Structure 1
Amino acid sequence: MDRRRVLSFIKTALTGFDKPLALIVFLLFATGIVALYSAAIDMPGRVEDQLRNILLSYLVMWVIAYLPTQTLMRVAVPLYTVGVALLVAVAMFGLIRKGARRWLYVGMVIQPSEIMKIAMPLMLAWYFQKREGSVRWFDFVLALVLLGVPVGLIAKQPDLGTGLLVMAAGLYVIYFAGLSWKIILPLLAIAVVAITALVSFEHDICAPGVTWPILHDYQQHRICTLLDPTTDPLGKGFHTIQSIIAIGSGGLFGKGWLKGTQTHLEFIPEKHTDFIFAVFSEEFGLIGNAVLLVLYLLLIFRGLYIAANAPTLFSRLLAGSITLIFFTYAFVNMGMVSGILPVVGVPLPLLSYGGTALVTLGMGIGILMSISRQKRLIQT
């Protein structure tokens, strides 16, 4: 009888989950544990901590999966307001660590910028839902203001990686809400011209004594070492050089699990967090990377499928934005580890060691499952 009750409870607990999405997430978690075991083999307790983080992420995912989307709409404005208020509090009297003011002590230490990764798409999706059928150009302007306030506060901390993710989450909602290509294309053209000019004049802009407006010194150094990591091979360029060596040395099939020389001879920095992709590439090679990319593509396709079939504008905008946040996480992390993007401290989703980021991503997956569950309930 007790066994039947347990099985019944498990069955009930899993009915709110989108099964294809849950399977993909499970496979990514399993892949992450395999890679982390190798990366952190000389760091006792990391794998156990990550398993606890995964369990917490699952619990958050399960709770949110059972929340109706109407509840998500109701919490959008309060969550955004609290998030911005906490960012202001950080700017005024936040904790400073390693030269950055990103944390706040409220009985425990928290990083309010993480809240905005979910609060931002919730807020903008709510905003455009309220204006469904009557969106005007000034609505996009106001949406950009709502986006610019927290992004500006996060950039001031400074936290380029989190600021990029929050900005991307908001821009995805604005795009899906119907922003015209007549505005998007000129902005893309300006960005391409700016990047081309940056690369063309790299020696001048990276010369000693040259300072850039807006960016901090360490951000300027990251871009300059991206353009030519060998200018500082033992300093700012060390991360990029060693991760590229690890990826290249993996070859087609990899060196084998637990046999990565760059990994276990301590050449790869932050190997269990931001640079875990270099560890995975060295040990599993191009074939392993292809499998990992397929898993991420399946995750993105499933999320976009949920978004396309969502019953309301709010659900469609929210699901589409959260899905592309996973794309942004993966693209930026793999890009920085491969040397095609600056090192900005973005983890590889569901693989990198960490608690806060994993719980945030669990919230995102839970929202996707909530939207999928709502669609099934409407159909039945």
Structure 2
Amino acid sequence: MTLQRSVSALVLGLWLSTGGLHAQTSPRIVWSVPTPSGLANSIVGVGWSPAGGRIAVGSTDRWVRARAASNGALQWSTLQTPIGSGTADQAIFSTDGAMIAAHNSGQGWTWRVHRAADGVFVGKLVGTLQANGVVAFAPDAQLAAFTGDGGFDHWSVASFSTLSLAGTGYQKISTNWVFSPDNALQASASQGTITIRRRSDGAVVQLIGGGNVRGTTPMQFSPDSMTLAAYVRTPNETTLFRVSDGTVLRRFTNPTTNEDVSFVRFSPSGTRLVTTGYQPFETPEGFDQRGIIRFWRVSDGSLRHSFATGTGLGVTSPVAWNPAFTRFAFGTYEGSTVVATVPSP
């Protein structure tokens, strides 16, 4: 490649990193704090309390931490056990904000539940795949005693996701599940097919050709449970499907062909779609990358804002909204937790 082409690629990359014409009203960072230990890690799970005052994050160093939503001050930290287990990849608040369910990638479908106020461990939530294909969740005896009931009433099933791996090496098959906000449906993605089931009896509602052939498929149901957004690396776009008949309603195509999306999230009203991931770009010295957050308008698929400020080498978590939908939180590859303002529509 000539020097002129390299410089042109760099200029284009810098233009895209700020969102080009969409950068005029990019979000303002409210605060950004690194991981306390300073050890190499990435923030991969983020949750915002329904009460509004607390954020919980999980990271690749197995720690779950709670921070004040106003300024990022550390409130407590707890190491997920056992030693040698995987990543703390989900941090989910109960619907009343009193508990936090932390998932560890090395512990199957088990979430360790902590008291949100101080991080004290109070029991576990356990997920199982039933014979009819439905994923069920239930508290263990300790958690049931703590909450005073044996059900799943304290949680929104749409906040959870599950993953199953079968086989080894190149033959490994990934299947990941997400759940509708009304608890009526679940969607599983595997080998380029998305299966939507009714949770009441396991009946298949739709089989949709979509999602990644290999690896997991970032996806989420809309707040009204009527549509499903799913990202696929080729052709590098997020597709909005209508659940009732599988019809493609919208395509959200990334501006650059080589970027990658790790998570897909809707705004609380469902009018916006937010994708997080990273964007490689070329410099005269070689290749580099930056984290990227894109805000899309659902009604017409237009890209409204591209956010690459304070995103590090990659945004490695989904976004989490505050109850008023004025701020959002995310985590970076370098281990920073960031809160920023929600941009204009």
TM beyond 0.5: no
**TM score, norm. by length of structure 2:** 0.30
Between structure 1 and structure 2, the one with the greater Rg is 1
**TM-score scaled by structure 1?**
0.28
Which has the bigger relative contact order, CA under 8 A and spacing at least 6? 1
Structure number with the higher helix fraction is 1
